[in-house]
Chains A and B, each alone.
Chain A
Amino acid sequence: EVQLVQSGAEVKKSGESLKISCQGSGYSFTTSWIAWVRQMPGKGLEWMGIIYPSDSDTRYSPSFQGQVTISADKSISTAYLQWSSLKASDTAMYYCARCGRTDYGMDVWGQGTTVTVSS
């Protein structure tokens, strides 16, 4: 079964750092882009960026460039999303997704990681 399994919920304070993960299984992890998508409470989906695990080629949405870092370790089929200094406005659900369809259509999604940042 093709799946993406994300790390568990996080509760942090403003200014702290954080790295969440997304591990793929059931397919060749290096041959599909992995996207990160933010969903703030009660809001819609926002595309943050993507990474190609084979060579770690990374693209960011201008809205998130400089705010987060996307990385991957292909040896353990895992992608990461990290913050160096969290803000309360980073409170959201974060999903990873495999871009297995044309024009980055996302065909497999992780279960999501809730990040709560208190000020």
Chain B
Amino acid sequence: QSVLTQPPSVSAAPGQKVIISCSGSSSNIGNNYVSWYQQFPGTAPKLLIYDNNKRPSGIPDRFSGSKSGTSATLGITGLQTGDEADYYCGTRDSSLSVVVFGGGTTLTVL
């Protein structure tokens, strides 16, 4: 049972938009910055979004992040088959003094 809650899977057609949610509490998302990570099978995770909504250099603007209260979302527009991957949210938990991750969401581009 992960501290942050994500849907196990989402799917959408190529070219469409998808939103992946990440729900937490005041001790984690509510008072800390959220990061999002993308992981393809057999490879290391990669930072996709940091500080709730910032993109590292090289990440296309099809990827966006937002946060409201104790929830965060990752949005992906113009879906491509190459976006099929697992996506994780993560942040610091001030009460537990640890970093916590969501359980991960598998994106399928139909």
Interface residues of A, Cβ cutoff 8 Å to B: 35, 37, 44-47, 50, 59, 61-62, 95, 97, 101-112
Contacts and interface: CB of A to CB of B under 8 A. Distances in A.
Contact of B35 (A44, A62, A106): A106
B103 interface: yes
A61 B98 CA distance: 6
Interface of B is mostly: strand
Given A44-B88, A104-B92, A112 B99 contact: no
Nearest to A93: B44
Contacts, number: 71
Interface of B: 2, 32-33, 35, 37, 39, 44-47, 50-51, 56, 86, 88, 90-92, 96-104
B50 A47 contact: no
B103 A102 contact: no
Given A46-B101, A47-B98, A107-B56, A102 B44 contact: no
B101 A105 contact: no
A101 B35 contact: yes
Nearest to A64: B98
Given A44-B104, A95-B44, A112-B44, A105 B33 contact: yes
